[in-house]
Chain A
Amino acid sequence: MSTELAPHRALGLTDSEFELIVEKLGREPNDVELAMFSLLWSEHCAYKHSKKLLRKLPTEGERVVMGPGENAGAVDIGNGHAIAFKVESHNHPSAVEPFQGAATGVGGILRDVFALGARPIAILDSLRFGELDSERSRFLLDGAVRGIGHYGNSIGVATVGGEIYFEEPYEHNCLVNAMCVGIAKQDEMVRAAAAGVGNAVVLMGASTGRDGIGGASVLASAELGEGDEGKRPTVQIGDPFEEAKVLECCLELLAKGLLVSLQDLGAAGLTSSAAEMASAGGVGIDLDVARVPLREADMEPFEIMVSESQERMLAVVEPGRVDEVAALCEKWQTGCARIGEITDSGLVRVLRDGEVVGEMPVEALVDGCPLYDLEPAEPQGWVYGNRATLDPDASGEETMLALLSSPSIASKRWAFEQYDSVVGSRTVRRPESADAAVLQIPEAGNAIAVSIDGNGRRVACDPYAGTIEAVLECAQNLACVGAEPLGLTNCLNFGNPEKPTPAWQLDRSVAALADACEALGVPVVGGNVSLYNEGPEGPIYPTPVVGMVGELPDPSRATGSGFAAEGEAIGLLGPFEPNLAGSELAKLRGELDAGLPLPDVAAVAAACAVVRYAVREGRLSSAHDVSEGGLACALAESAFAAGIGCRVDLQHLRERGCTPEEALFGEGAGGFVVSGDRETLEELGAALLGTTGGTTIELAAGDRSFSLGLDAAAEAWRSLADRQTAPTP
């Protein structure tokens, strides 16, 4: 055997996969065909290690308009309108080049949503980096935040929410997940399935260059390692202005009924768009690469077919309407090229000036990839690091300040002030003012709430319980603004599925996602899988990120998370069982090997219903779910909003057997900190904890009791900006 890698192996295909391709074609593939197969049979496109698991997820629901398989999912919001949404990862490009990686992550998810005919109205981001004391993490954070802002701000879509966590296992493999939400008239929505033999295939938007070649197969379907700088050319470059024009052009084309179907060009470029459109429609497709507008004249056919140049859309158009389509593209000063047609051959045929340079059955390309069973094995004990950074004898006050200034808990104002959260005039609750973003939907006379959540560390502690918590956290955030969940999208960020531990994490996590969604009655309408997230030290924390969209009738009733007035009662609602296992405090103490208790999903769902009812009736002054840092941090966050302190006694939890530290800093699902008048809270079944007011946070919990000035506490909580002293890239 020669030392040189066989071409198929260099492209990421195994020997047996290559043999299967030869069998399906009846001959050896040529270079064009091999390149196309390698991309569509990559993990990123074929989901070959995850597809069997994903079949467990519940996808049906009364309000579902479009489910998995389309460019994005969509749910009915009333009055003939639908809300489309999806989350997607751009992890590996962002780890190599954070600004462009994050920017094009936003650009890609926007295209998925407007490909349905929906106008994007909101973006949310879920980001993970290594610890903030690492220069690399600060560089990645700075670049990713700038990149998200650059794209979202320029294109005029509000970035309304998100989350950022800092944990050592993400040091080499950061996560950048972007979610987009759009609104569409249901009768103007379009599917991705190609139809109509003889119809024209039109490529719109930017020209095609050599950027991003192999992004899906080289970057997204293998582990990161040494020498990743050499992969920089595989990262795409974003042009939000081009996308702004393509977006407006596509929406106008759809409103005028000029398109039969529409699909964005994402991973694997023309190859996947064309093959997937043909597959969904049960037709064949001919494409002539000589008709594709190029940035560089001498591109090879395989390069044109796999280029991941951004801001491109593929449409199927009736032949008689191509001129009208071209005229609108001219108005919007964006590209328009008729590059092929729909056939009844069942083949994807690639031509150059009429000469066939590649010919493959659609079915073999899209559905021919073998699906693999995972070989999961539960690891013996904790497989990640466990670094203590807090003195075990720290007082209650010292512990509180350490938690508030912990970057994962600290205010993310530094980041979200770099995003336009109001463009579009829909944003009723901006970042940090409530647990979920709230957007008014005048088209349907109501509003939506959106949240994105996922705590990888807790999933690492127990993939099943941790994933249940992620779904519950989302549902709780929605309940705090009075919203009822309509649908869920997810991005499953895991390590190498061919290794036993990540395989086990993935298997348990998807089972939990299915069970939680089933129990809450929330359908999964779309999602994305990102595997092979590993660095030299091993896999990332298993990180299922959950995005949820809910409906609320009256946006003016959406309650904020901050105390609203002095002298009001503070209560704790819900089946909250505080536990230090997997908590932020356990992390600071290096005690992350204690598993995670399983939450009671039905009890949390019932508590969500109580909070939702109370918010909709306008009976609460504030509602905030208890998450990282426990009750103490939840109370502090409610206090910071309007600078109203609190005096609280946690005797209630102490009587139920909690230690002072568990009562203050213990975490777990199901807890809500609410404020309002005493009778209301009692009527709702809340345990009364204390009273709002003053300029201190006074928490009584046995030998860990403390009183902390609001200013000192807020200073710790607002310390992220000072610690983010990244060099400008």
Chain B
Amino acid sequence: MIWGVLQFPGSCDERDALHACGLLGAEPKLIWHEDGDLGGGVDAIVVPGGFSYGDYLRAGAIARFSPAMEAVGEMAAAGRPVLGICNGFQVLCEAGLLPGALLRNEDLRFVHRQVELLADGPKSPAGADNSAHRLSIPVKHGEGRYWAPPETLDELESRGQIAYRYAPGQNPNGSVADIAGVTNEAGNVLGLMPHPEHAVDPLTGSTDGLTVFRRLERVVA
């Protein structure tokens, strides 16, 4: 599977995401946001973290209009893996590819911290392998408080779309129901605030982030 990583003006973690995707197998591609062909053919896409367009209007609000995002919408509809990390999660929510919204952190401060996540949706591969159930992955964001109206939350719960929650006592931003990441109904579009691309090497932290990428690869396998 060939992964592509989008790059907007103001993206920060696109090289990190490229590095992580490279560990999964085939050589990944960096895709400029004006490229509506997504580099001429990739199987899966990462919308990376950072501050696209400075997050000046509202996080992700401008990036969603780029030509590449139209193509990402088509990939999502076709059931291909789409992973939005941090600012990428915000972009996917703004684009309507994922439900809900990301608000400013409860204490109004940027927070960078290693946190524990629980992978708990039924589509999660975690059920079989208990060690993969609890992940150590860093967060770093100022607008990461996931919010959705109660009826949407009920739907997300019942359909198993809440892919990742912060472990008890670890919620860094005050998100509703400790939500760290959600999927679309089909499960091929995943957005999360923690940074799995910063958890792929024991030297710099943990390797738990790789399970997040593999989870999406498995959706289409």
Q: How does the 8 Å CB contact mask read for A416-431 relative to B, with 1 for contact and 0 for none? A: 1111111111111000
Chain A residues within an 8 Å CB radius of B127: none
On whether the beta carbons of A240 and B111 are closer than 8 Å, the reply is no
Binds B, one of A8-16, A147-155, A360-368, A600-608: A147-155
Chain B residues within an 8 Å CB radius of A146: 109
On whether the beta carbons of B203 and A428 are closer than 8 Å, the reply is yes
On whether the beta carbons of B204 and A440 are closer than 8 Å, the reply is yes
Q: A240-B51, A417-B111 are contacts. A422–B10 as well, Cβ < 8 Å? A: no
On whether the beta carbons of A420 and B112 are closer than 8 Å, the reply is yes
CB distance from B121 to the nearest CB of A (A): 26
Q: Does B108 contact A (CB under 8 A)?
A: yes
On whether the beta carbons of B16 and A440 are closer than 8 Å, the reply is no
Residue of B nearest to A332 (CB): B9
Chain B residues within an 8 Å CB radius of A240: 51, 54
On whether the beta carbons of A154 and B55 are closer than 8 Å, the reply is yes
Chain B residues within an 8 Å CB radius of A333: 9
On whether the beta carbons of B51 and A417 are closer than 8 Å, the reply is no
CB distance from A604 to the nearest CB of B (A): 30
Q: Does A728 contact B (CB under 8 A)?
A: yes
Chain A residues within an 8 Å CB radius of B11: 156
A284-336 at interface with B (beta carbon < 8 Å): 332-333
CB distance from A54 to the nearest CB of B (A): 36
On whether the beta carbons of B138 and A422 are closer than 8 Å, the reply is yes
Q: List 25 A-B contacts (CB under 8 A).
A: A146-B109, A153-B140, A155-B51, A156-B12, A241-B53, A244-B10, A244-B51, A244-B54, A245-B9, A245-B10, A416-B112, A417-B111, A420-B12, A421-B112, A422-B112, A422-B198, A423-B12, A423-B13, A423-B198, A424-B15, A424-B16, A425-B19, A425-B204, A428-B204, A555-B203
On whether the beta carbons of B9 and A244 are closer than 8 Å, the reply is yes
Q: Does B110 contact A (CB under 8 A)?
A: yes
Q: Does B50 contact A (CB under 8 A)?
A: yes
Q: A244-B9, A244-B10 are contacts. A420–B140 as well, Cβ < 8 Å? A: yes
Q: How does the 8 Å CB contact mask read for A337-356 relative to B, with 1 for contact and 0 for none? A: 00000000000000000000
Taken together as a complex, chains A and B put the C-alpha atoms of A427 and B114 apart, in Å, by: 13
Q: Does A239 contact B (CB under 8 A)?
A: yes
Taken together as a complex, chains A and B put the C-alpha atoms of A428 and B197 apart, in Å, by: 15
CB distance from A256 to the nearest CB of B (A): 16
On whether the beta carbons of B54 and A241 are closer than 8 Å, the reply is yes
CB distance from A50 to the nearest CB of B (A): 36
Q: How does the 8 Å CB contact mask read for A694-717 relative to B, with 1 for contact and 0 for none? A: 000000000000000000000000
On whether the beta carbons of B112 and A155 are closer than 8 Å, the reply is no
Q: How does the 8 Å CB contact mask read for A360-381 relative to B, with 1 for contact and 0 for none? A: 0000000000000000000000
Chain B residues within an 8 Å CB radius of A154: 10, 12, 51, 54-55
Q: A427-B204, A440-B203, A555-B203 are contacts. A241–B198 as well, Cβ < 8 Å? A: no
CB distance from B40 to the nearest CB of A (A): 19
**B51, B110, B112, B142: residue with the most chain A Cβ atoms closer than 10 Å:** B112
Q: A241-B9, A244-B10 are contacts. A423–B16 as well, Cβ < 8 Å? A: yes
Taken together as a complex, chains A and B put the C-alpha atoms of A245 and B140 apart, in Å, by: 21
Name the interface size band of chain A. 20 to 34
B196-218 at interface with A (beta carbon < 8 Å): 197-198, 201, 203-205
Name A residues whose Cβ lies closer than 8 Å to a Cβ of B: 146, 149-150, 153-156, 239-242, 244-245, 248, 332-333, 416-428, 440, 555-556, 728
Taken together as a complex, chains A and B put the C-alpha atoms of A321 and B26 apart, in Å, by: 37
Taken together as a complex, chains A and B put the C-alpha atoms of A242 and B10 apart, in Å, by: 8
Chain A residues within an 8 Å CB radius of B142: 153
B40-54 at interface with A (beta carbon < 8 Å): 50-51, 53-54
CB distance from A610 to the nearest CB of B (A): 25
On whether the beta carbons of B203 and A417 are closer than 8 Å, the reply is no
CB distance from B175 to the nearest CB of A (A): 17
Q: How does the 8 Å CB contact mask read for B77-116 relative to A, with 1 for contact and 0 for none? A: 0000000000000000000000000000000111111000
Chain A residues within an 8 Å CB radius of B15: 424-425
On whether the beta carbons of B10 and A728 are closer than 8 Å, the reply is no
Q: How does the 8 Å CB contact mask read for B136-158 relative to A, with 1 for contact and 0 for none? A: 00101010000000000000000
**A150, A153, A440: residue with the most chain B Cβ atoms closer than 10 Å:** A153
Chain B residues within an 8 Å CB radius of A422: 112, 138, 140, 195, 198, 204-205
On whether the beta carbons of B111 and A418 are closer than 8 Å, the reply is yes
Chain A residues within an 8 Å CB radius of B201: 425
**Cross-chain contact of B203 among A248, A332, A418, A556 (Cβ < 8 A):** A556
Given contact pairs A239-B54, A422-B112, enumerate 6 new A-B contacts (beta carbons under 8 Å). Answer: A154-B12, A245-B9, A417-B113, A419-B112, A422-B205, A424-B15
Taken together as a complex, chains A and B put the C-alpha atoms of A242 and B54 apart, in Å, by: 8
Chain A residues within an 8 Å CB radius of B108: 728
Residue of B nearest to A419 (CB): B112
**Cross-chain contact of A153 among B110, B113, B197 (Cβ < 8 A):** B110
